[in-house]
Structure 1
């Protein structure tokens, strides 16, 4: 069996430099060499895609990574693909791939919260879990997955919940799809695969503004129509905004700037017909907002993918 490990940088690939700070330096081969427990029947190939902190990762790199994964999917020798990345935007990269990759070969993202210079680094164990997941027949056809702390999550549900704790990646509402018990991946949850979109790289843009709506938020935080390609709102509760935001959002709608709404709550979805006060979900619908079931950062990824794939309506719908 052949598994390809694609290294992109991040904490899992970091070492302590002369100044005492961690920076990405380790290659894919270095990462694989740090993991005990791989058997002789497993062939591990490595590719160094990049070596940057994940906060530096661009949407163009996400697309290039997705294209590389598709190339490996077309290689009959490759049985699984593991991507190592920093945890800051790992959920966004994994979800971008989930929305743009239509292959059957398992794709598993992983990373680390502690770099190798610290006590009890978690990178080797996470990489082992990711490889074991990529080897598992149960991972085929599920799109992009995230393996962390012996749990395997769907890219569309998982999120980083703690800035420093090892047990940071969680799927708040639906939980993990599987766990690793010793050398066995135990699948317990089935989920529908995310529909993939063909992306035009020339249409990729990062000019999608993501905004968390807060109490008595000033309307100046809403961009003008000439300052963005789309706006994603994480509304309060079931889809509510302060009334003073309505006018600047109307200006965006009148300029045909796509508006996407989700909830800022870690669980649940937007309402469609519970409230009708100014600024309620009825207002969002009147503005023509698309509804997303993902968190703000992934709803922004959805919107970016949609804009590059024929329109936001190719990935989201209006209620």
Structure 2
């Protein structure tokens, strides 16, 4: 039987209602494990309580430490690691770990949309499924995984799509990597790719800026003046920005700040030479911005943090964002 380490960090899956009927993080890893006795027939699980916080409380520095704990688990002989946390930032946690971990055991994140106080809580089944995946021999070939609603998603692609539904986690363009059916993992496709960048010194002063109809460049300008280390701009369509943002974008690029462009669309990659108007993708390319590798804005921000923390130069950062689609 496989040895799995369960690391609990909090989130809805570990919450219970307080005297005011509001969910608060109160349950520990042992509580989670005891709530699902079926786990005993799947794997030999050791439960460890690490944090007990809502996921918006998590910092990149916490994830660096979590990465160390996962490496220690592999060294200690565990066959896989399952991490429970809140859904709000799970897609970012998963991708950060996917980018920094170079290990040969499965790492699976799971969570819940409905707390254990509710009769329809999704936490127990998600936990059982996550441990089932972590104990699967093929799971180690897919990088860090997210398991929820009996689906297996890759860390690079998965996003939270709904505030409350239990099928919130989806991979919009390509769909899940696999599914859990009758207690077994069914793999549906291969992972696109997996890349690892060891952290040298954490650089997490990176922010994302949303652009829309009539946006100006004041937020970008503020970030540049505040000493930001990297900016991700969520542009329109295939990579277009309102003209009034261009002076601020140009200022950031001229200061040597990596400026990564993503799209607010849920799927697809940026264009490179379809449109020629001011603020279109060709103009942004010529300005020296970096095109975001088909990543969601949240994922592009995580990748930029990792690349900066790995000590890469601006040209190296550009290469690792653009090599798959724009080289």
> Could you say which TM-score interval applies, normalised by the shorter chain?
over 0.9
Which of 211, 214, 217 matches 1:216? 214
- Once residues 90 and 10 of structure 2 are traced to their aligned partners in structure 1, the CA distance between those partners, rounded to angstroms, is 11
Alignment match, 2:97: 97
CA distance in 1, matches of 2:42, 2:36: 15
Residues 55 and 140 of structure 1, relative CA distance in 2, 3 Å threshold: same
Runs of 4+ in 1 over 4 A off after TM superposition: none
Q: Cα deviation per residue 1:99-133 (whole Å; 9 max; x = unaligned)?
A: 10111100000000000111211100000000000
- Relative to the length of structure 2, the TM-score reads 0.93
Q: Tell me the equivalent position of 1:172.
A: 172
How far apart in 1 are the matches of 2:66 and 2:265?
Answer: 30
Partner Cα separation in structure 2 for residue 138 and residue 193 of structure 1: 15
1:5 is matched with 6
Partner of residue 49, structure 2: 48
Matches within 5 A, 1:109-188: 109-188=109-188
Distance across 2 between alignment mates of 1:70 and 1:192 = 24
Q: Note the residue ranges of structure 1 that are not aligned, 5 or more in a row.
A: none
Q: Which stretch of the first structure deviates more once superposed, 219-228 or 162-171?
A: 219-228
The equivalent residue for 1:226 is: 225
CA contact (8 A) 2:111 2:126 kept: yes
User: How far 1:266 sits from its partner (Å)?
Assistant: 0.3
Distance 2:54 2:42 in 1: 33
Deviations 1:202-258 (A, max 9, x none): 3332x2110121011022122342321111011100000011111111111111111
Structure 2 counterpart of 1:317: 322
1:275 and 2:275 correspond: yes
Distance 2:270 2:263 in 1: 6
1:7 deviation in Å?
0.4
SS in 2 for 1:316: helix
Matches of 1:304 and 1:24, distance apart in 2 = 28
- The 8 Å contact of residues 109 and 145 in structure 2, kept in 1 or not, is answered as yes
Deviation at 1:38, TM superposition (A): 2.1
2:86 corresponds to: 86
Gaps of 5+ in 2: none
C-alpha displacement of 1:73: 2.0
- For residues 94 and 223 of structure 1, the distance between their equivalents in structure 2, rounded to whole angstroms, comes to 31
3-state DSSP of counterpart to 1:137? coil
CA apart distance, 1:41: 6.7
Deviation per CA, 1:246-305, whole angstroms, max 9, x where unpaired? 111111111111100111100101011111111001121122112222101111000111
Stretch of structure 1 that moved more, 282-291 or 148-157: 282-291
CA distance in 2, matches of 1:42, 1:282: 53
Aligned equivalent of 2:106? 106
Deviation at 1:40, TM superposition (A): 4.7
Q: Over the residues paired in the alignment, what is the CA RMSD in angstroms?
A: 1.4
Q: Distance in 1 between matches of 2:232 and 2:261?
A: 6
Decide which moves more: 152-161 or 63-72: 63-72
> For the structure 1 residues 276 and 41, does the alpha-carbon distance in structure 2 shift closer, same or farther, using more than 3 Å as the test?
closer
User: What's the TM-score, normalizing by structure 1?
Assistant: 0.96
